[in-house]
Chain A
């Protein structure tokens, strides 16, 4: 069975600071990787996904993530955060191909201070 580990539970940054949220997964086969975001009072939204190809994936709102297969990692990055990035971020993994049972990490709450 797959598992996901997010290293930071709560991150506080000032506006314009750079962001990197760690994510490691455990699974013996080929995977699809996701970052979801939940803004206050809103539903979970897909930020970006990796299925195959270029391991550096660009998502919405200036976010990107890099899949490093040898490290089983899929860290999320943003060069300069904004107050509007305050949200909870979830890393997730599913086996590739066929139907997807998505396994989520515990989430990281990001608070950006103006």
Chain B
């Protein structure tokens, strides 16, 4: 089966610009998660979708971040306007509904804000 795919793999933008990251989960996985790793620190949870609904967005840093999952398939994470501290690697993960299921991770998008 195809894994979790993320696009782009690397994005370099200037402070103040807008960037949109995309995540395609494994087909049939209703759970979709976004995480972020700022350089040298731990991977931190951002939010969780169940299908198209936001289950938990307690990890979103501020209102410059907007995540969507229209139709319950792929998800986008938009940062507008980007700030220097937003640099890091953004990971997406997915898992099936029901029971205890491990999450499958994508390769991540490395976001660099100049």
Point out residues on A near B: beta carbons under 8 Å. 4, 32, 34, 36, 42-46, 49, 51, 90, 96-97, 99-107
The B interface is mostly helix, strand or loop, or mixed, namely: strand
Complex: how many Å from CA A101 to CA B44?
Answer: 10
Q: Given A97-B100, A100-B100, are A36 and B45 neighbors across the interface (CB < 8 Å)?
A: no
Contact of A105 among B4, B42, B108 (CB under 8 A): B42
Contact of A43 among B41, B50, B100, B106 (CB under 8 A): B106
Asked if B55 is at the interface (CB within 8 A of a chain A CB), the reply is: yes
Q: Is the CB of A99 within 8 A of B106?
A: no
Q: How far is the CB of B94 from chain A (nearest CB, A)?
A: 12
Contact of A100 among B95, B104, B105, B107 (CB under 8 A): B95
Q: Is the CB of B45 within 8 A of A103?
A: yes
Q: Is the CB of A43 within 8 A of B3?
A: yes
Residues of B within 8 A of A106 (CB): 41-42
Interface residue total, chain B, C-beta cutoff 8 A:
26
Q: How far is the CB of A76 from chain B (nearest CB, A)?
A: 16
Complex: how many Å from CA A42 to CA B91?
Answer: 12
Q: How far is the CB of A14 from chain B (nearest CB, A)?
A: 26
Listed from nearest, the 10 A-B pairs whose CB atoms lie closest are: A44-B105, A104-B43, A43-B107, A106-B42, A51-B100, A104-B42, A46-B102, A43-B105, A49-B102, A101-B45
Q: A34-B102, A36-B105, A101-B45 are in contact. List 4 more A-B contacts (CB 8 A).
A: A46-B104, A99-B50, A104-B35, A104-B43
Contact of A102 among B41, B45, B55, B108 (CB under 8 A): B45
By beta carbon, the residue of chain A nearest B44 is: A104
Q: How far is the CB of B45 from chain A (nearest CB, A)?
A: 5
Residues of A within 8 A of B4 (CB): 43
Q: Is the CB of B43 within 8 A of A101?
A: no
Complex: how many Å from CA A51 to CA B99?
Answer: 10
By beta carbon, the residue of chain A nearest B4 is: A43
Q: Is the CB of A99 within 8 A of B48?
A: yes
Residues of A within 8 A of B105 (CB): 36, 43-45
